[in-house]
Amino acid sequence: MGEWIGYLYLILQGAEVTACLTVLGCLLAFPMAFVAGLGRLSRFFAVRSLATIYVEFFRGTSIFVQLFWVFFVLPLFGLELSPFTVGVVVLGLNVGAYAAEVVRGAIQAIPRSQCEACIALNLTRYQSMRHIIIPQGFVVMLPTFGNNAIELLKATAVVSVISLADMTFQAQLVRGQTGSTAFPFFTILLIYFAFAMLISFGFKRLERHISRGLDGVR
């Protein structure tokens, strides 16, 4: 019994790494989503082009290839990153590219009358986006942002291929040492599900809170 408790502890250590990757990956992904999403709506061709290249590159290539490229190829050019940093950067940039389209779509979904009202009030483009357009669009973005965060959580499993000891890596290690597949993978199945439910709950609470604020309900 004590031996299995030790194996469970190994998996929980991996769960901590997975949780850190998810949180830090989201902290990179969502700012990148706003930068790229708004960049694709820019009036400047150069900004639109850069944002489009970023989005299409990371959406159009495999996350496995991105991970291997950053971890194994960049050191050849003198840029060597730790496995954890590589995981955060690749996960954040990859999911950020998908979330950028969420930002763009939400902004474009705002009724044209809102933009016309901003013009009538003599607001600048920055003021219109800052005070009118983005706050309304943000509520539209949140449900899909929650899905993006869960996708990032599940994608953390790929970091095991660069020997980063996340949950999947530790489950494979326990499987190799015990010969049991059911115990380690059923355990991480439950943990992934619990993390996903926590993310979903958090985003739903945030969505309700912001919606009440926009409706003027206290």
- 172 CB neighbour count, 10 Å cutoff: 16
Q: Which CATH number is 2-215's, of 1.10.3720.10, 1.10.10.10, 3.40.50.300, 1.10.645.10?
A: 1.10.3720.10
Quick one: residue 163, left, alpha or beta (phi over 0 = left, psi -120 to 50 = alpha)?
A: left
What pLDDT does 217 receive?
Answer: 40
What pLDDT does 214 receive?
Answer: 59
What pLDDT does 2 receive?
Answer: 57
pLDDT per residue, tens digit, the chain (218 aa), is 556 777 888 899 999 999 999 999 999 999 999 999 999 988 899 999 999 999 999 999 999 999 999 999 999 888 889 999 999 999 999 999 999 999 999 888 877 777 667 777 767 777 777 777 888 888 889 999 999 999 999 999 999 888 888 899 999 988 888 888 888 999 999 999 999 999 999 999 988 887 775 555 44
Helix axes 83-109, 134-155, angle to 10 degrees: 150
Cβ(36)–Cβ(97) under 8 Å?
A: yes
Distance, CA of 170 to chain centre: 22
3-class secondary-structure state, position 38: helix
What pLDDT does 6 receive?
Answer: 77
**Domain edges within the chain:** 2-215
Between CA 6 and CA 11 the distance in angstroms is 9
pTM: 0.88
Angle at 158 between CA 78 and CA 169, to 5 degrees: 105
- 186 CB neighbour count, 10 Å cutoff: 12
Between CA 95 and CA 103 the distance in angstroms is 12
CA distances to 32, 190, 198 from 194, rounded to whole Å, are: 27, 6, 6
